[in-house]
Amino acid sequence: MSTLVVGVDGGGSRTRLVIADDSGQELTALEAPPCAVRHGHEGESASVIVTALQEALVACGMTAIRPRVLSVGVAGVGRDAERDALRDSLIAHDVADEVVIQTDALIALD
């Protein structure tokens, strides 16, 4: 296996993270503290997501594999400024080849 994808559902009460392989098979899932984005505190939200991702990679024994995509649906990114700041912070942490940020409402509809 060479491809991992990561999905994050982040809100004000908790964060859920799932890692799947290239066939869509879930490898691990975990819950973490809330990561809802507040203006000016996007880095704190990114830190919660990065820590959860690191813990999940350890849990599934995949620390040597870089995720292809980190897809994050999170509360508080309805405006471009917050969405871009969170994406920039996650990219700065170099957590995946591609980082996608959407609102939690959009992923709920999906």
| Mean pLDDT (whole number) for 47-64 | 96
pLDDT digits (tens, 9 = 90+) for 72-96: 999 999 999 999 999 999 999 999 9
Secondary structure element (H or E) that encloses residue 9, with its range: strand 4-10
Mean pLDDT, the chain, integer: 94
**Is the CB of residue 22 less than 8 Å from the CB of residue 1?**
yes
User: What pTM, to 2 d.p., does this model score?
Assistant: 0.94
Contact 89, 46 (CB under 8 A): yes
Q: What are the tens digits of pLDDT across the range 18-49?
A: 999 988 999 999 999 999 999 999 999 999 99
